[in-house]
């Protein structure tokens, strides 16, 4: 196996490259300074020159609110980029692992979304990621689509780091309490993607850490584990102005993992503790 990882400087791509290194898998991590995934020729040259057996496509346009103001840029990255990478994979018979999102669902109700539930994204970001999914499915037979949510990792910015930073400036913080989902630690998700890369159990999967919470509960857990006195004030989504609509229900059913022999990830609170320890916020 030989793996190319896009978005290698992002949270997930960074940990995927590390996980592959831990397994001594030949790999190459690339990012925007290596080639532009919206340039079809550049994509084909980069992929065919390296000739991987698997491409793990972590690169994406993820600025959810900004996407509402620049939908074409978002579409070029999330849809066109995914299509070009899929076409390049097809040309060399490589497997593609495409990282998608809970935002492909409208986010209504309180059920856990199955992998085959109807998709109906309500934001530009969600619509372009779904379009990327469809581009991969239309182009390849050998693919994995892995939807995840609420990602946090060592390399880059995320909700946990934002809460820790704001806690130094404020005694209390307003945090949304009516959006429910599962935090996902990239250091836990990355080995699962490596397991998939080694398999032929192609298809659509949901992969997050176990357990669910609201953003407010997530923030409370951060402060509790670090030992901070910062107060979390739960507020509704309607009280927190944002340009893009967020799904209220981001619960993802992960039965497809077990059905195909993959292990579920640890509980998000356990993952958070390990993460806070790694970044030096919790002492052993």
Q: CA separation (Å) from 90 to 1, 87, 243?
A: 16, 5, 37
> In this predicted structure, what is the pLDDT of residue 207?
98
Q: What is the pLDDT at residue 80? A: 98
Q: What is the mean pLDDT of residues 47-73?
A: 97
Quick check: 284 pLDDT over 80?
no
Res 237 pLDDT > 90: yes
pTM tops 0.75, yes or no: yes
The average confidence (pLDDT) of the chain is 97
Question: Which of 12, 4, 59 has its CA nearest to residue 29?
Answer: 4
Question: With pLDDT > 70 as the criterion, what percentage of the chain qualifies?
Answer: 99
pLDDT > 80? residue 12: yes
pLDDT confidence bin for 240, thresholds 50/70/90: confident
What pLDDT score does 55 carry? 98
- The torsion angles phi and psi of 43, rounded to 5 degrees, stand at -60, -50
Q: In what order do the strands lie in the sheet with 203-206?
A: 27-30, 3-6, 54-57, 95-101, 143-148, 203-206
Q: Per-residue pLDDT tens for 242-270?
A: 999 999 999 999 999 999 999 999 999 99
Question: What is the average per-residue pLDDT within 158-177?
Answer: 96
Report, as residue numbers or ranges, the catalytic residues: 125
Report whether pLDDT(147) > 70: yes
What integer pLDDT is reported at residue 282 of this predicted model? Answer: 83
What does the pLDDT average to over 125-148?
98
Domains and CATH numbers, the chain: 3-158+183-210+251-265 (3.40.50.720)
């Amino acid at each position: 196996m030989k793996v190319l990882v896009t978005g290698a400087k992002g949270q997930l791509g960074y940990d995927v490259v590390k996980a592959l290194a831990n397994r001594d898998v030949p790999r190459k991590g690339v990012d925007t300074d290596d080639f532009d995934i919206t340039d079809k020729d550049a994509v084909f040259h980069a992929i065919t020159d390296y000739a991987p057996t698997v491409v793990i496509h972590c690169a994406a346009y993820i600025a959810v609110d900004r996407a509402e103001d620049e939908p074409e840029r978002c579409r070029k990255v999330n849809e066109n980029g995914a299509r070009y990478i899929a076409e390049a994979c097809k040309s060399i018979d490589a497997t593609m692992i495409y990282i998608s999102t809970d935002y492909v669902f409208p986010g209504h109700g309180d059920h856990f979304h199955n992998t085959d539930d109807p998709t109906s994204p309500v934001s530009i970001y969600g619509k372009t990621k779904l379009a990327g999914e469809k581009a991969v499915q239309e182009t390849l037979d050998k693919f994995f689509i892995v939807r995840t949510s609420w990602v946090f990792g060592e390399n880059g910015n995320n909700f946990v780091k934002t809460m820790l930073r704001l806690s130094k400036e404020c005694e209390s913080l307003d945090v949304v309490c009516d959006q429910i989902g599962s935090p996902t630690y990239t250091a836990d998700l990355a080995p699962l993607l490596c397991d998939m890369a080694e398999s032929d159990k192609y298809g659509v999967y949901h992969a997050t850490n176990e357990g669910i919470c609201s953003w407010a509960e997530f923030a409370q857990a951060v402060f509790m584990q670090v030992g901070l006195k910062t107060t979390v004030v739960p507020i509704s989504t309607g009280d927190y102005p944002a340009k893009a609509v967020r799904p209220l229900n981001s619960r993802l059913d992960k039965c497809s993992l077990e059905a195909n022999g993959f292990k579920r990830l640890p509980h998000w609170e356990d993952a958070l503790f390990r993460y806070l320890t790694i970044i030096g916020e919790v002492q052993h």
